[in-house]
């Protein structure tokens, strides 16, 4: 958390210093709306957050890399909702000045699966979303959005459907044959090596490793092919410097930049 606050402070300071040279306001950089979507056969509702960015601008994925700003959702203006689950389309890896970030350029349609208290009734979705936006400089930006979710809306929105079609493939769909994890002590935290037995891709693969514990920070992995397997090596640290209990079965490993995006859940010891 300290690291994130420090990064925010640096970004805000940099943005303030460069603001006089910029002709466009940040409200013109990003347009945000909630698409009302449609009611699913099981009673859930599929909506979406739709961000349109000015040319050259990008925003970030749920795990944006060391150079990115993670999005945060505060759904305080809801009615008849039980849970809201983002369905993240496959992002793109960006490199700038030797630093990696992960996100979307130009536009993001983020499907939101909304489970309802009363599946037969209308609902409302609303709140504030804190995102990072980036061009020559990067800064946090807040958008306020709301939309009604009518129960009678049953026709799928093709824009949302296209975003759902761009979700990463599962390990089984991508032909992953096995995943193993090896943990070893490191100077700060623990070292983690993930080896994925999968069809060889382009050779330009990048990996993202996420834990379920928000107190654990995972460095951007070094990724490459070795012995027919894709191997990712990284370091896991605790935000407060405490002991690390790493649940291998709860790890989420995403492979990007290859022939297809892949999301893998868990690995063997």
Q: What is the pLDDT of residue 20?
A: 33
Strands (E), the chain: 30-39, 45-53, 58-60, 72-74, 81-86, 92-96, 99-105, 107-116, 123-134, 138-149, 169-170, 178-185, 190-197, 206-210, 216-218, 222-226, 229-238, 252-256, 262-265
Same domain, 59 and 159: yes
* pLDDT of 23 strictly over 60: no
Q: What is the mean pLDDT of residues 93-102?
A: 90
pLDDT at 269: 76
18 pLDDT higher than 60:
no
| CB-CB contact of 40 with 157 (8 Å) | no
Question: Residue 169 pLDDT more than 50?
Answer: yes
On whether both 47 and 145 belong to a single domain, the answer is yes
At 63 the three-state DSSP class reads: coil
Q: How confident is the model over 161-170, as a mean pLDDT? A: 98
Model pLDDT for residues 207-266, shown as the tens digit of each residue: 999 999 999 999 999 999 999 999 999 999 998 888 888 999 999 999 999 889 999 999
Q: For residue 254, what are the β-bridge partners?
A: 208, 263
Number of structural domains, the chain? 2
- Tell me which residue range forms the domain holding 245: 169-265
Residues 124 and 146 in one domain: yes
Domain identity same for 173 and 240: yes
Whether residue 25 is found in the same domain as residue 116 = yes
Q: Does the pLDDT of residue 8 top 90, yes or no?
A: no
Q: Are 121 and 175 within one domain?
A: no
Q: What is the CATH number of the domain that holds 178?
A: 2.60.40
CA distance 233 to 18: 37
Q: Are residues 69 and 190 in the same domain?
A: no
State pLDDT tens for residues 121-149. 999 999 999 999 999 888 999 999 999 99
| Same-domain pairing of 173 and 84 | no
Looking at residues 68-91, what average pLDDT do you find? 97
Region of residue 227 (left: phi > 0; alpha: psi -120 to 50; beta: else): left
Claim to verify: residue 217 and residue 156 sit in the same structural domain: no
Q: How far apart are CA 43 and CA 32, in angstroms?
A: 26
Residue 223 and residue 116 share a domain: no
End-to-end CA distance of the chain: 29
Q: What is the mean pLDDT of residues 75-93?
A: 97
pLDDT band at 201 (very low <50, low <70, confident <90, very high): confident
The percentage of residues in the chain with a pLDDT greater than 70, rounded to a whole number, is 91
Q: Closest Cα to residue 89, out of 48, 120, 43?
A: 48
Residues 7 and 44 reside in one and the same domain: yes
pTM: 0.87
Q: Can you give the CATH number for the domain in which 39 is found? A: 2.60.40.1250
Shared domain check, 187 and 150: no
Chain Cα centroid distance, residue 118 = 29
Final residue before a domain boundary, out of 112, 134, 164: 164
Q: How many other β-carbons are positioned within 10 Å of the β-carbon of residue 151?
A: 16
Q: What is the pLDDT of residue 243?
A: 84
CA pair distance 41, 154, nearest whole angstrom: 9
Domain boundary among 164, 182, 203: 164
Single out the residue in 145, 164, 183 at which a domain terminates. Answer: 164
């Amino acid at each position: 958390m300290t690291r994130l606050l420090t990064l925010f402070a640096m970004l805000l300071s940099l943005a303030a210093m460069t603001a006089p040279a910029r002709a466009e306001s940040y409200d013109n950089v990003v347009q945000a709306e909630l698409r009302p979507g449609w009611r699913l056969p099981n009673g859930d509702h599929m909506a979406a957050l739709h961000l349109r960015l000015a040319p050259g601008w990008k925003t970030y994925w749920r795990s944006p890399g060391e150079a990115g700003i993670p999005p945060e959702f505060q759904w305080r203006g809801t009615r008849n909702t039980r849970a809201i689950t983002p369905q993240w389309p496959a992002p793109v890896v960006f490199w700038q000045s030797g630093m990696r970030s992960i996100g979307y350029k130009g536009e993001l349609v983020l499907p939101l699966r909304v489970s309802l208290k009363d599946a037969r009734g209308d609902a409302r979705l609303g709140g504030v979303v804190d995102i990072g936006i980036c061009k020559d400089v990067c800064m946090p930006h807040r958008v306020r959005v709301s939309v009604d979710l009518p129960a009678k809306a049953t026709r799928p929105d093709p824009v949302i459907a296209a975003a759902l079609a761009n979700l990463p493939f599962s390990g089984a769909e991508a032909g992953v044959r096995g995943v193993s994890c090896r943990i070893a002590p490191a100077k700060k935290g623990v070292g983690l090596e993930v080896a994925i037995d999968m069809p060889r891709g382009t050779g330009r693969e990048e990996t993202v490793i996420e834990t379920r514990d928000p107190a654990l920070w995972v460095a951007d992995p070094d990724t490459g092919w070795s012995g027919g397997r894709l191997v990712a090596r990284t370091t896991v640290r605790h935000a407060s410097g405490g002991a690390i209990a790493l649940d291998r079965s709860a790890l989420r490993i995403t492979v990007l930049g290859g022939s297809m995006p892949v999301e893998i859940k868990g690995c063997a010891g």
